[in-house]
Structure 1
């Protein structure tokens, strides 16, 4: 039996410069890595950290060379490595949207070539008919919010009223999502999950092509002290076709260990083990633990959501930089546990430039960093779809061909 294993680390939202089609998304000029490095170099990202961006291990795997290939320059203030240890490249997205599900599905070999539905109205985002059906099915006293909103601000706006009335707070964003915020204790976490699962069913029944219904539990008792907990749960549309994760299980009786929110993104299809974890430190610890114990014919797939939800969307440049530096400081531990036949893939699912206007994702190239003791060091070039990653994994495990993507090895 093959001892090959693949470790996929998705730095959620870590783009490396605006892509060729960024104009379609009003994102020309967005540059997650470049702008973070620039802010750090000019001492504009010194909250709880200081000075130039320090990510030497990512740079040694080729990240700086990726950025140079795209922009013509090395990232601001970053020292060039003495030696490149891994293969490196970058990829464009062919999916129609720049959301988490589209990016991850394309990484797994199933690009989203159709259009998601969106709740586009900034106020009264959800129709009265839809809300009434949800209200009647769950015997709710009504709803609060019903708008486009920041997940933190809306808690300050409606948190106290929610506690008094038990009305769920419902809101959306520029992504294809229906989000529900409820107090873990006053409303109940299981009640929130049941409500979101029911909303998922109602949306599907009424032919709303919405990517995710997201349960957003929170705690706190008054304005200014509300905070979201780590018990978020996504109720996602399933991928329309078989991902490389599913193929590994079905064709090789393999294993797919999903860490963080990965399983939710794929609606738990193609997953043999789900490891729930919150926070960058815990996610890294769980990743190391699972990789140490994963058998041959395994994929360990970790999503590091904090880069997106905690720092990218909240436009926190210092936080994003500090998170990158912490991740980078833990990379040697990950490299040291890799066995001879293991393949490490570090990548992203979209951009979320913390210096950009608004709070939306940004349409950017993603980095592809490959490392393995059997993998030659070379420039992988510009990949025309994220699905080149899936095709590469498919070939690595000797699976049947994916419909999209080209093997990079």
Structure 2
């Protein structure tokens, strides 16, 4: 069988890209800085000892670090046998966000600039807010500022419960996030509101990438926690991804695990599998590999690296997450059959040692494993879309507009 398994570590960058200066990200390096903080025992929350990720090292991640930085810490075992080919890639998309990264990986770079709400204290323009309030039949909104998920709940969660006004907030990404209490506001009401805001944006001048429904629970600011019922409403992209081509040209299957289907607005997805947290994501990925047939893509996004540890600048949590991922990865490697192709990659950086709480403009790793194939260093790839072109050639599909195959 010809099958591709894509495991995307959301935000696992491996060094600031050549255009990082445009984003004030020169010097950011998610992987290197996590390793260094662990080795120096300076990681927060009591992290001790060097990073232990032997399976990722066996797929070439350590060799890749050596190529990029000129150094290879002995703690990452330079002499381990490498069984995969490895490369690093630059983005040609205009942004460093989730949507841009995923679409470029699937062969459709986002070359036009997203609109963003850059005013941190009164971010969404008044005319747009008035449009949303009137069309969505809500009593008003609270928030309307740049914030992180936990902070915004502590600031406005109680007021939301008392007034029924949804919490709107933004960031440096092209996004509107809407936080509402699952019980007091209602989960379905939150989804309907977020969908309506997406439709309003589609019919206005604002080119916003995502509207994110952020449900939460709790009775006061000390108890508020976000739930796993997040839902993304992404802007539709006109050009076909390699996933859509597989379905149309080979009658293939594309299994999206975690938030993959939301990112692509369901396009190019034949089966959506919800999953939350690394353990659940791995379990669902294993099940999908066991069941997937010929001409299938299994695509999993491991979002915790970004949303739980990267944005919250939690070095220790990120490091422990990487070690858990590495531990579970061995079972995936053992499931990869002779004609399968395993791809491990990322969509952008989110250096947990960096200033602020935003994504960082970085190279991404590309690790390609095919049983029985000799390991090669595949160099610097000029676009994330080299992954899509590789998948296109692997399945003998029509060529993508962007990218160069690595096989």
TM range (shorter): over 0.9
Residue 23, structure 1, aligned to residue 21, structure 2: yes
**Is 1:278 aligned to 2:276, yes or no?**
yes
2:136 equivalent among 135, 138, 145: 138
Gaps of 5+ in 2: none
Contact in 1 for aligned 2:108/2:239 (Cα 8 Å):
yes
Moved over 4 A (4+): none
What stretches of structure 1 of length at least 5 have no aligned partner? none
| Equivalent-residue separation in structure 1 for 2:223 and 2:137 (angstroms) | 29
Give the conservation status (yes or no) of the 8 Å contact 2:83–2:374.
Answer: no
Change (3 A) 1:58 1:117: same
The residue that corresponds to 1:40 in the other structure is: 38
Deviation at 1:240, TM superposition (A): 2.6
CA contact (8 A) 2:57 2:80 kept: no
- Which of 190, 198, 220 is 1:192 aligned to? 190
Q: Does 1:246 align with 2:244?
A: yes
Deviations, residues 3-22 of structure 1 (Å, cap 9, x unaligned): 10000000000000111111
Q: Note if contact 1:6-1:343 (Cα within 8 Å) is conserved in structure 2.
A: yes
- Equivalent residue for 1:118, pick from 116, 133, 138: 116
- What TM-score comes out, normalization by structure 1 length? 0.98
Q: Find 2:339's aligned residue among 338, 341, 352.
A: 341
Residue aligning to 1:360:
358
TM-score, with structure 2 as normaliser: 0.98
Root-mean-square deviation over aligned CA pairs: 1.0
* Matching residue of 1:74: 72
Give the 3-state SS of the residue equivalent to 2:178 in structure 1: strand
Residues 213, 232 of structure 2: 8 Å contact kept: yes
CA gap of 1:318–1:225, structure 2 versus 1, over 3 A, is: same
- Residue 235 of structure 1, aligned match among 225, 233, 236: 233
- 2: distance between equivalents of 1:240 and 1:312? 30
Contact persistence 1:34–1:75 (CA under 8 A): no
Q: What is the CA deviation profile of residues 85-126 of structure 1, one whole-angstrom value per residue up to 9, with x for unaligned ones?
A: 110110011101100000000000000111100111111111
Number of matched residues? 407
Kept in 2: contact 1:40–1:46 (CA 8 A): no
**Given that residues 340 and 370 in structure 2 are in contact (C-alpha distance below 8 angstroms), is that contact kept between their aligned partners in structure 1?**
yes
Alignment of 1:146-185 (within 5 A): 146-185=144-183
Deviations 1:54-76 (A, max 9, x none): 00100011001111111111157
Per-residue CA deviations over 1:232-255 (Å, capped at 9, x if unaligned) read 000001223100000000000000
Counterparts of 1:104 and 1:368, CA distance in 2: 13
- 8 Å contact 1:18–1:30 — kept in the other structure? yes
Aligned to 1:378: 376
Deviation at 1:337, TM superposition (A): 1.2
Q: Structure 2 CA distance, aligned partners of 1:162 and 1:76?
A: 52
Q: Is the 8 A contact 2:132 2:197 kept in 1?
A: yes
Q: Which residue of 2 is the match for residue 313 of structure 1? A: 311
C-alpha distance in structure 1 between counterparts of 2:46 and 2:275, whole Å: 24
Moved more, 43-52 or 264-273: 43-52
